[in-house]
Amino acid sequence: MKRRDLLKAALTVPLLPFVMRTGFATTPRIASAVASAFRSRVRPSDPGWPSATAWDGLKRNVGGRLLKLESPFAHCQGTTSDAVCADALKHLDNPFALGDQPALTQTSGWADAWTSQPSVYAVAAETTADVVAAVNFARKHHLRLVVKGGGHSYQGTSDAPDSLLVWTRRMNKVTLHDHFVAQGCAGRVEPQPAVTVQAGAMWIDAYHAVTTQGGRYVQGGGCTTVGVAGLVQSGGFGNFSKQFGTAAANLLEAEIVTADGVARIANACTNPELFWGIKGGGGGSLGVVTRLTLRTFELPPFFGAVFGTIKASSREAFRALIVKAMDFYQSALFNPHWGEQISFRDGDTLNISMVFQGLTQQQAEQTWAPFLDWIRGREEYTFTKPLQVTALPARHFWDAEFFREHAPKFIVSDDRPNAPRHHTLWAGDQDQVGWFIHSYQSAWLPAALLRPEQPSRLADALFTASQHYDFELHFNKGLAGGSQDAIARARDTATNPQVLEAFALAICGSAGGPAFPGMPGLGPDLPKARRDAAGVDKAMDALRAVAPGAGSYVSESDYFLRDWQQGFWGSNYARLANVKRKYDPDGLFFVHHGVGSESWSEDGFTRLHDGERHS
């Protein structure tokens, strides 16, 4: 017996009691699946890697849409630098260009964690049948399978070397419905307005169709280039989550290709547990979502924003400013009208970047007047950026042509020839394009900290954290203070239940410029990255001291989070693990810190155990 086969046989021994205890071996098909569950995935250097003939067969099955991948930065070395390298460098600040390149991701890596490296092959899927073919091929040949739509994963879950990529970018159709009823739900639910979005679409595509053209609202992400499917599966917060709920909570139906290669419909009436798992259980763990249908809402008359920066003359004054800001938030902004963030910055500076819905500009100005009067009446504070309140007709909030005419500084357009005119991103998101993360952490802060007896305790924590590193409170990423309807629907998702009681998500992070492998230059500054990470640790420790056991949002979290099952999903993890066992018993789908990933090595290539520890 070869050493490889001997190891496989030895590894199945610990599984036998599990098989007998659970009754999984009641049918030959399932018994065979369990027996093969410990097989390691193969790499190009392994004897089991598919032959050229096998790859040719897959290419035929997907209509020729099998791509051999190579990073464009592989062309930048020494004297071999060429037009491919030059073009990649030219568009390095364009997230639409990065998204259209299957060998790249929107994040170039994370210090001491991962770097963006292309898969060996990609299926550039245009149909559900393409996805089915890729899933079946990966399962048959024991390949590491990766799924990428928007490619925004901070934790590197949308790329992996030595893998097969299912790339859904070309599946980007958006369809509006006036009277949608999920399959199998006729007679059980009322028809309602909705939008169906294919898995490769970005939120700017959805907003353009639903809001700019359709005059309605769909709850999506704040960053316009984020993929719709990835955001929904991770929970999904947008500017106005306190009013409209999370993206996951507004999912009505999805089509998803599971590990057995079956394209399944998942909704409240058909495969309801799979449907629940998709709603916040994390992308890439349960299958490949190919399309989603989301409820849409009546559009408020106005959306608006409030921007400004206040500097305190001393630390004592800054702490007093924090006390006042949080008191003002609790009394005036802790409601469904308001979202986005206040950040605490070096130099005893408070930056305001809030948005509102359902208010006129005059109403918003009146809301902020008491706070502004308090600031202006004290000489220890200076507006380094005057506070501005702006409202606009809600239909124009993502209207590229409107912004080009009235406020061009707020948007950045896809500058490539023949790019869709509506493909724009907020200028404030530009620094995230291709960035290399040094550290990134988040924690939900419970609304109990806003109670009258708590303000000093909360202010002390916020002030202490600010002295270690800049951080932000994202109020729209906690649902406390939101509409009852939004909270009720979010309760029926897999997202950590802490979000229901949180007034904000605290986020603290650091990053450098793009550092894709092969790029010209010195690469990431790892000593600085580690210094920054130490500062982030201290800041978040100060915040967690008043929020012990605080959960973390799966899409914006620490790569090195230890108790990630509890942090991401809390009491929902056991149920998610059951969904995983039912629809992917062999663990075909793997992402870092995804459901069931504790059964695999860090790179997802070697099976470690049966994963029962967290069930």
What is the reported pLDDT for 79? 60
Both 210 and 279 in a single domain? yes
Both 7 and 54 in a single domain? no
What is the reported pLDDT for 452? 85
pLDDT over 70, % of the chain: 92
Both 146 and 90 in a single domain? yes
Both 149 and 179 in a single domain? no
What is the reported pLDDT for 362? 98
- Judge whether 163 lies within some domain: yes
| pLDDT confidence bin for 81, thresholds 50/70/90 | confident
- Judge whether 370 lies within some domain: no
pLDDT digit string, tens, across residues 563-605: 999 999 999 999 999 999 999 999 999 999 999 999 999 999 9
Both 113 and 103 in a single domain? yes
- Measured distance CA(93)–CA(76) in Å, rounded: 17
Average pLDDT, the chain: 92
According to DSSP, residue 447 is labeled G
- Measured distance CA(269)–CA(137) in Å, rounded: 30
What is the reported pLDDT for 38? 46
Sequence-distant (≥ 6) Cβ neighbours of residue 613 within 8 angstroms:
598
pLDDT digit string, tens, across residues 133-166: 999 999 999 999 999 999 999 999 999 999 999 9
Give yes or no for residue 177 having a pLDDT over 90. Answer: yes
Q: What is the domain count for the chain?
A: 3
Both 139 and 183 in a single domain? no
DSSP 547-603: STT----TTSS-TT-SSHHHHHHGGGHHHHHHHHHHH-TT--B--TT-TTGGGB-TT
Give yes or no for residue 428 having a pLDDT over 60. Answer: yes
Give yes or no for residue 185 having a pLDDT over 70. Answer: yes
Taking the mean position of all CA atoms in its chain, how far away is CA 297? Answer: 22
| pLDDT confidence bin for 609, thresholds 50/70/90 | confident
Helices (H), 282-391: 315-328, 361-376
Give yes or no for residue 334 having a pLDDT over 90. Answer: yes
What is the reported pLDDT for 250? 98
Both 162 and 183 in a single domain? no
What is the reported pLDDT for 325? 97
pTM, entire model: 0.92
pLDDT digit string, tens, across residues 118-132: 999 999 999 999 999
Q: Of 267, 298, 329, at which residue does a domain stop? A: 298
What is the reported pLDDT for 12? 36
Tokens standing for 491? 């309760």
Give yes or no for residue 11 having a pLDDT over 60. Answer: no
- Judge whether 144 lies within some domain: yes
Both 590 and 608 in a single domain? yes
pLDDT digit string, tens, across residues 305-324: 999 999 999 999 999 999 99
Q: Of 298, 328, 358, at which residue does a domain stop? A: 298
Question: Which CATH number characterizes residue 252's domain?
Answer: 3.30.465.10
The H or E element containing residue 128 is helix 128-141
pLDDT digit string, tens, across residues 190-227: 999 999 999 999 999 999 999 999 999 999 999 999 99
Both 182 and 253 in a single domain? yes
DSSP 235-303: ----TTHHHH--TGGGEEEEEEE-TTS-EEEEESSSSHHHHHHHTTS-TTSS-EEEEEEEE-EEPPSEE
What is the reported pLDDT for 21? 33
Instruction: With CA atoms as reference, report the closest residue to 312 among 325, 301, 302.
Output: 325
Q: Is the dihedral of CA 526, 531, 532, 538 positive or negative?
A: positive
What is the reported pLDDT for 463? 98
pLDDT digit string, tens, across residues 360-402: 999 999 999 999 999 999 999 999 999 999 999 999 999 999 9
The CA R_g of the chain, rounded to the nearest whole Å, is: 24
Sequence-distant (≥ 6) Cβ neighbours of residue 331 within 8 angstroms:
none
Q: Is the dihedral of CA 453, 459, 461, 464 positive or negative?
A: negative
Question: Which CATH number characterizes residue 596's domain?
Answer: 3.30.43.10
Query: Which range of residues forms the domain containing residue 216?
Result: 174-298
Both 229 and 151 in a single domain? no
Sequence-distant (≥ 6) Cβ neighbours of residue 338 within 8 angstroms:
242, 354, 355, 356, 475
| pLDDT confidence bin for 266, thresholds 50/70/90 | very high
- Measured distance CA(263)–CA(288) in Å, rounded: 9
Both 194 and 100 in a single domain? no
What is the reported pLDDT for 455? 67
| pLDDT confidence bin for 77, thresholds 50/70/90 | confident
- Judge whether 359 lies within some domain: no
Both 142 and 189 in a single domain? no
If one counts every other C-beta atom within 10 angstroms of the C-beta of residue 455, the result is: 17
Taking the mean position of all CA atoms in its chain, how far away is CA 395? Answer: 25
- Judge whether 56 lies within some domain: yes
Residue linked to tokens 């009322």: 190
Give yes or no for residue 549 having a pLDDT over 70. Answer: yes
